[in-house]
Amino acid sequence: MARAFLKSPVKGVLMGVSMTGGWLLADLLLPEPWGDFILFASMAVVNIAIGWKLGKLYDSQNDKETEGAFGADQEANLDLRS
């Protein structure tokens, strides 16, 4: 079975295009006055969730980098003491 190895930017572009198509389809299918309220509210919720997830990923990556820096400093201090 062939596997497609896509880089992260390409995956992001594909997700953005598919989400945009989904929002446009939802806008076409929902009734006119209430559809906009439902669509904009759902877009807000989705954007908040995406921002929350990106923030958590950034924090976890930042924590890993910080732990790695402290781990190297602690090992250097232990070598100097002995």
- How far apart, in whole angstroms, are the C-alpha atoms of residue 43 and residue 76? 50
Domain boundaries, the chain: 50-76
Per-residue pLDDT of the chain (82 residues; tens, 9 = 90+): 455 666 777 777 788 888 888 888 888 888 887 778 888 888 888 888 888 888 888 888 888 878 776 655 555 555 555 5
Query: What b/e sequence results for 8-28 when a residue is b if at least 16 CB atoms lie within 10 Å of its CB, and e otherwise?
Result: eeeeeeeeeeeeeeeeeeeee
pTM over 0.75: no
User: Measured in whole angstroms, how far is the alpha carbon of residue 42 from the centre of its chain?
Assistant: 17
Return the DSSP state at 2.
-
**Which of 75, 70, 61, 20 lies closest to 43, judged by CA?**
20
